[in-house]
Amino acid sequence: MNAPSSPSGNDYQVAVIGFGPSGAVAASLLGQHGISSLVIDRQRAVYDKPRAIAIDHEIMRLLDNLGVADEVLPHVAPFPASEHFGADGQLIRRIDMVPEPYPLGYTPTMVFTQPPVEAALREHAQRYRSIEISLGTELVGFEQTPTGVMLILAGDDGTRRTVSADYVIACDGASSGVRERLGIRLADLVFDEPWLVVDVLVNADAAGKLPQSAAQYCDPRRPTTFIIGPGNHRRWEIMLLPGEDPQEAQKPEQVWKLLAPWLTPEDATLWRAASYRFHALVAERWRDGRVFIAGDAAHQQPPFIGQGMCQGVRDVANLIWKLARVLGGLSDESLLDSYEAERSRHVRELTTRIKAIGQVICERDPAAARARDARILAEGGGRPRTITRQEIVPPLVTGLLTARDDAAKGTLFPQPWVKTPAGHGRLDAVAGAGLRLVLEPTLADKLPPALVRQARALGLHLIAVSSSSGSPAGAPGIDIAVVERDGVLADWFARHGCRAALVRPDHYVFGTAAGAAGLAVLIDELRAALATGAAACHQTQPICSTP
């Protein structure tokens, strides 16, 4: 179905270039807002081999908000603890997930099988009336005008057409043609290592030969990663040594030689073998006028904690709620500057942390590797310690956040399980997401009417959450009152010394307040920031281009 045209007179409000995972999630987010959009991709079919393999609770929460989680979950499994073994084969540390009750309502870290998940994301995006999908279509040129972007499209049937859009989001991968045409350079964070990635489908009678947990072999002779995927899917990431030919290494006979410590060709079916150079790259600019880049077009990181696809989905989740406000006339266009300010800083910080983990893993000098092992064990008091993947992913530290000191700002707001007449449900599904004010009941019960009006004028959804021992707070002005099951949010409020949180549509906390007076100031600060984007620019002078 053709999408309605843009109110500005362009054919579409947004054009999305690329229909991989980031582009498909972008399409559904745009569709959820009713934004008329065109999505194109050169390929007609989903690539039938796995590439990304990890997903986390933040991303699954976003997919649940879109209503596509149920289609994705059959192809997902928990990511078990990753055991790191040192130069002499000894356990030196574990990387695991935080324990239950899980803070976002989902298993914090998961593995998935990409082809069926990507197909589910594409199919879901096609359900929206405002979204037009054009497969077998390539962007061959574009030009920005004062009111939009003109795009020249070529079909694989030899046809050409020109369309216009208010904005463009380029999710066109690591070799992004849009990024290249805009002359946007990639900043090198100095990580460049050759690896072979091998995926197999292991036979049932051979599964017992393999480790029952994920493993990182920090062996200076050949660093290797082992990952347990859903079902019988197993992956190895194997460092290639100096002088080894990456093309030769991915040939089946060479792959089986490398897998010989674990499996024989009779034990499994080789699904994919691909040689890569693991990079740490971040775009120097994420916006050029009306064109934005996202996903692998904007950044590439080593895979050591499985954040590649997650990063791309975070990009579009960050950008599209802001685009929706600008296109709806609710915010000035300068709000869009906070996209690069927030995501570039976050990606750089996370990539730097991933790079540090990679450098530890990739140590090739035996003496240095043994010193590394001793240092890591000493950090745990002489025993292997456990760190969580959630500790590694940083909060937002700049952009559309309160200017006040607030330990909770930029963190992900929890999603507890709450009680419903039918049983239990996750908070977002029961109470709604979007731009919202979440209150502890002792504050919800005595909100001044003027503060309620102030929140309503900003379009905030007011949610009161009682602890598991309380009852719903049905105070005037509250949209919905619920009781949580496990005390996750009550603990969060207590830990941060607050009773209210302003939460953005992408689930990041704008700021918190302990009482009505502080909350009134906080809401007014958010109103000003959303209207003009000034708060984001004020906090990000080196990045933000708006005066």
Residues 117-135 pLDDT 10s: 999 999 999 999 999 999 9
The verdict on residue 466 lying in a domain is yes
What is the per-residue pLDDT for 359? Answer: 87
Predicted confidence band of residue 542 (pLDDT cuts 50, 70, 90): very low
The verdict on residue 524 lying in a domain is yes
Mean pLDDT of 249-265: 97
Q: Which domain holds residue 520?
A: 417-539
Q: Is the pTM of this model over 0.85?
A: yes
Mean pLDDT of 286-307: 94
Nearest-angstrom CA–CA distance, 307 and 504: 22
Residue with the larger pLDDT of the pair 323 and 474: 323
Predicted confidence band of residue 469 (pLDDT cuts 50, 70, 90): low
Residue showing tokens 């989001």: 169
Of 42, 52, 307, nearest in space to 175 by CA: 42
- CATH code assigned at 38: 3.50.50.60
Query: How many Cβ atoms from other residues are within 10 Å of residue 169's Cβ?
Result: 30
- Percent of the chain past pLDDT 70, that is, above it, reads 95
What is the per-residue pLDDT for 417? Answer: 97
193, pLDDT greater than 90: no
Mean pLDDT of the chain: 93
Predicted confidence band of residue 306 (pLDDT cuts 50, 70, 90): confident
Indicate if 421 and 338 belong to the same structural domain.
Answer: no
Query: How many Cβ atoms from other residues are within 10 Å of residue 1's Cβ?
Result: 10
Indicate if 177 and 29 belong to the same structural domain.
Answer: yes
- Give me the residues paired with residue 412 across strands: 508
DSSP 298-326: TEE---TTS-HHHHHHHHHHHHHHHHHHH
206, pLDDT greater than 90: yes
Mean pLDDT of 296-310: 90
Indicate if 147 and 29 belong to the same structural domain.
Answer: yes
12, pLDDT greater than 70: yes
CA 304 to chain centre: 15
Indicate if 147 and 67 belong to the same structural domain.
Answer: yes
Residue with the larger pLDDT of the pair 134 and 537: 134
Nearest-angstrom CA–CA distance, 173 and 247: 22
Indicate if 52 and 149 belong to the same structural domain.
Answer: yes
The verdict on residue 5 lying in a domain is no
Mean pLDDT of 37-61: 96
Torsion sign across C-alpha atoms 375, 377, 382, 387: positive
Domain-ending residue, one of 334, 358, 382? 358
What is the SS3 string spanning 389-425? HHHHCCCCCCCCCCCCCCCCCCCECCCCEEEECCEEE
Indicate if 306 and 424 belong to the same structural domain.
Answer: no
Residues 441-452 pLDDT 10s: 999 988 999 999
- Lowest mean pLDDT of 215-224, 290-299, 407-416, 471-480, name the range: 471-480
Residue with the larger pLDDT of the pair 399 and 193: 399
What is the per-residue pLDDT for 474? Answer: 61
Indicate if 53 and 163 belong to the same structural domain.
Answer: yes
The verdict on residue 308 lying in a domain is yes
What is the per-residue pLDDT for 470? Answer: 58
11, pLDDT greater than 60: yes
Mean pLDDT of 223-231: 96
Nearest-angstrom CA–CA distance, 171 and 121: 14
Indicate if 60 and 144 belong to the same structural domain.
Answer: yes
544, pLDDT greater than 60: no
What is the per-residue pLDDT for 533? Answer: 62
Sequence-ordered list of residues with C-beta below 8 angstroms from that of 415, at least 6 positions apart, any chain = 61, 103, 104, 105, 426, 427, 428, 507
Residues 350-381 pLDDT 10s: 999 988 888 889 999 999 999 999 999 999 99
DSSP 6: P
Q: Are strands 385-388 and 91-96 parallel, antiparallel or unpaired?
A: parallel
Indicate if 157 and 32 belong to the same structural domain.
Answer: yes
What is the per-residue pLDDT for 540? Answer: 38
Predicted confidence band of residue 477 (pLDDT cuts 50, 70, 90): confident
The verdict on residue 290 lying in a domain is yes
- Give me the residues paired with residue 95 across strands: 82, 387
Indicate if 423 and 352 belong to the same structural domain.
Answer: no
How many domains are contained in the chain?
A: 2
Predicted confidence band of residue 278 (pLDDT cuts 50, 70, 90): confident
Predicted confidence band of residue 538 (pLDDT cuts 50, 70, 90): very low
Indicate if 168 and 291 belong to the same structural domain.
Answer: yes
Of 179, 435, 166, 192, nearest in space to 286 by CA: 179
Domain-ending residue, one of 340, 358, 376? 358
Indicate if 529 and 450 belong to the same structural domain.
Answer: yes
- CATH code assigned at 460: 3.40.30.10
545, pLDDT greater than 60: no
547, pLDDT greater than 80: no
Of 140, 170, 144, nearest in space to 39 by CA: 170
Nearest-angstrom CA–CA distance, 485 and 299: 39
Predicted confidence band of residue 472 (pLDDT cuts 50, 70, 90): low
Nearest-angstrom CA–CA distance, 142 and 153: 9
Domain-ending residue, one of 336, 358, 380? 358
DSSP 323-378: HHHHHTTSS-GGGGHHHHHHHHHHHHHHHHHHHHHHHHHT---HHHHHHHHHHHHH
CA distances from 369 to 83, 224, 359, 361, 513 (A): 16, 14, 11, 9, 48
The verdict on residue 303 lying in a domain is yes
Nearest-angstrom CA–CA distance, 193 and 244: 12
3 state SS of 46? coil
Nearest-angstrom CA–CA distance, 163 and 141: 11
29 contacts 320 by C-beta, under 8 angstroms: yes
Nearest-angstrom CA–CA distance, 504 and 437: 9
Predicted confidence band of residue 539 (pLDDT cuts 50, 70, 90): very low
Residue showing tokens 């060709």: 265
Residue with the larger pLDDT of the pair 133 and 536: 133
The verdict on residue 370 lying in a domain is no
- Percent of the chain past pLDDT 90, that is, above it, reads 85
Predicted confidence band of residue 57 (pLDDT cuts 50, 70, 90): very high
The verdict on residue 137 lying in a domain is yes
Predicted confidence band of residue 5 (pLDDT cuts 50, 70, 90): low
- Lowest mean pLDDT of 60-74, 93-107, 302-316, 466-480, name the range: 466-480
What is the per-residue pLDDT for 375? Answer: 96
